[in-house]
Amino acid sequence: MEVKLFDSELKVMDVLWRQGECPARQVAQILGEQVGWNVNTTYTLIKRCMAKGAIERIDPGFVCRPLIPKEEVQRAETDELIHKLYDGSADKLFAALLDRRKLTAEEIRHLKHIVDELE
């Protein structure tokens, strides 16, 4: 199941991925401190995520549980980025990332290990 989440919804999900299931009021408090949102904004976004099947509400107490893992969303967002900006070519994305900054020897070894694992 692929769920498309917008940046603001991802902020809500990120809190839940870090905290685990927690009350909506705690999510609102964290996002109020992090990004300055008021409670109503956070609750609206939680409800949008619920409507998309990304969050489950557990009562009593309006406890929020993430229903999709972060890794699933990362894969979907990466796939969309590859198709939207790199003509569906993962190697073009990889080359663009590598061209952005100088890699350390350790980072290069780690990337080589990842590629070796894929072969």
Global pTM value: 0.80
What range does the domain containing 39 cover?
Answer: 7-67
The number of folded domains in the chain is 2
Examine the domain organization and report whether 78 and 63 are in the same domain: no
| Angstrom distance (rounded) from CA 12 to CA 91 | 31
Q: Measured between alpha carbons, how far is residue 46 from residues 10, 17, 21, 58, 89 in Å?
A: 10, 13, 13, 13, 34
Q: Does 2 reside within a domain?
A: no
Express each pLDDT in 57-102 by its tens digit. Answer: 999 999 999 999 999 999 989 999 899 999 998 888 888 888 877 8
